[in-house]
Chains A and B, each alone.
Chain A
Amino acid sequence: NAGVMQNPRHLVRRRGQEARLRCSPVKGHSHVYWYRQLPEEGLKFMVYLQKENIIDESGMPKERFSAEFPKEGPSILRIQQVVRGDSAAYFCASADSDTQYFGPGTRLTVL
């Protein structure tokens, strides 16, 4: 994973709860991408952030989902009022230029 950290690795939530997924990029990288992977499918782009700015959120659902990448600390993907359809693996990728390095992912299960 080239030094990209994600936690937790596994997260179980009941419907209606909030899920917070964290991503620490490679030291010195200022670009973070979030992707979602449903079982048996490829990764789907959600959002692209640079430090303190959302650059492209075209893949993010309009409601319940938000993302941030503060000046200090990890990037956070937040899902409010989770539903069963949110169950998936969420990956972040860290980049300094063209190459994206993926973290190990957070597997979210909504009961």
Chain B
Amino acid sequence: GQQLNQSPQSMFIQEGEDVSMNCTSSSIFNTWLWYKQDPGEGPVLLIALYKAGELTSNGRLTAQFGITRKDSFLNISASIPSDVGIYFCAGHGSSNTGKLIFGQGTTLQVKP
């Protein structure tokens, strides 16, 4: 089945630094979504991308839908302690039932 490869697996950065993470796939995805999950909670949608090449921002977050439709990245600028959590990419693949395929997650830790 379709899979998403997310990297890096984890990051430990200093407060104020910028962060970048990405997702790749061997097959085309029709949408790309980025979620954040806090411990003991469900994923919360951060950014949704629907068109190849689309670049979207949400505050300090910026994400892009790759031109080939096989990759996406998420950037976080000027990180703060509350950015700590697990970030997942997800996408709607070839299925038309709306099910999401998730990456393995990037665990972000921010040192004050």
Contact = CB atoms under 8 A, between A and B. Distances in A.
B104 A41 contact: yes
Given A41-B105, A42-B105, A100 B100 contact: yes
- Interface of chain A, helix or strand or loop or mixed? strand
B97 A43 contact: no
Number of chain B interface residues as a range: 20 to 34
Contacts of B66: none
A102 B95 CA distance: 20
A33 B42 contact: no
Interface of A: 1, 4, 31, 33, 35, 40-45, 48, 55-56, 58-59, 91, 93, 95, 98-105, 107
Contacts of B40: 104-105, 107
B98 A1 contact: no
A75 to B, nearest CB: 15
5 contacts: A33-B98, A42-B103, A42-B105, A48-B99, A56-B95
Contacts of A104: 40-42
Given A102-B43, A102-B44, A103-B42, A42 B98 contact: no
Contact of B99 (A40, A56, A101, A102): A56
Contacts of B105: 40-42
Contact of B98 (A31, A35, A91, A103): A31
B99 A99 contact: no
A39 to B, nearest CB: 11
A4 B88 CA distance: 19
Q: Which 7 A-B pairs have the closest CB atoms?
A: A42-B102, A102-B42, A56-B97, A45-B99, A43-B102, A102-B43, A42-B104
A33 B99 CA distance: 7
B41 A1 contact: yes
A48 B42 contact: no
